[in-house]
Amino acid sequence: KLDLEEKKFDYEKDARVDNCKTTQEVVNLIKTKDWYSEKGSAALELNRVDVNAAKDLFKCMERMFAIFPDQKGSDVSFSTRNSNSNTWAEGSHWSGVILNSRYYKDYAELKKDYENSEGGFHPKGTDVRDIIYHEYYHVMTTLGDLANTIYKTVTSRLKMKGQKGGPKQTELIAAGISGYATKNADEFGAESFCQAMGSDNPSGFAIEVFKEILKYKKYMRGVV
């Protein structure tokens, strides 16, 4: 088991979320936090999201803002869109995270879909809750060239220099994280970050991506 020290952040968890009976109650609780600006809070819309999904979203973001406090006060948050697309969710610096209500209105079914596609379209060792981490990586890195910078740094650092005919790095990424992680720099980072945050046994790629995004955010805050 890999020990990711950077994951061990102490923060106070708000147990009130467990008592929420409706998605709107979760939304109201989020709005009591300092997570989003007034504009971000106004944009928060989860009406077509299952209450259990909303609770998991709350817990994921509670952890995210504890690790990355620089993300607080954002003008973008979460919204819902009904789409026939097979995409569960999407995220960017400009839009925040958009959940596809086609899936998020039936969280139990989404959980099954997620479990059935492990290693293909999501990282090994993660579960449905960790979609939020994947999408929020996009929110944190789609401004500027940060995703590409992290990709180049990590893949260069972990580049295999073994015998000729050995596994290619893309094959190692697919085997250790997911096939989707080989699509491009953005998805490599998002899948790696998702695995770092969600798995008890993250790959070396996942650990290095987490370290890089954490280092960058600390640098931007003047911590390092």
Token pair 């504890």 is found at 66
Find the mean pLDDT for residues 6-11: 64
Which residues contact residue 112 at a Cβ distance below 8 angstroms, ignoring those fewer than 6 apart? none
pLDDT one-digit tens code per residue, 59-115: 999 999 999 999 999 999 999 998 888 899 999 999 999 999 999 999 999 999 999
The pTM of this model reads 0.91
- Strand order of the β-sheet with 78-81 is 78-81, 96-100, 89-92
CB 88 within 8 A of CB 132: no
CB 64 within 8 A of CB 57: no
Cα 119 to Cα 114: distance, rounded to the nearest angstrom: 10
pLDDT one-digit tens code per residue, 167-193: 788 889 999 999 999 999 999 999 999
CB 90 within 8 A of CB 135: yes
pLDDT score for 161? 55
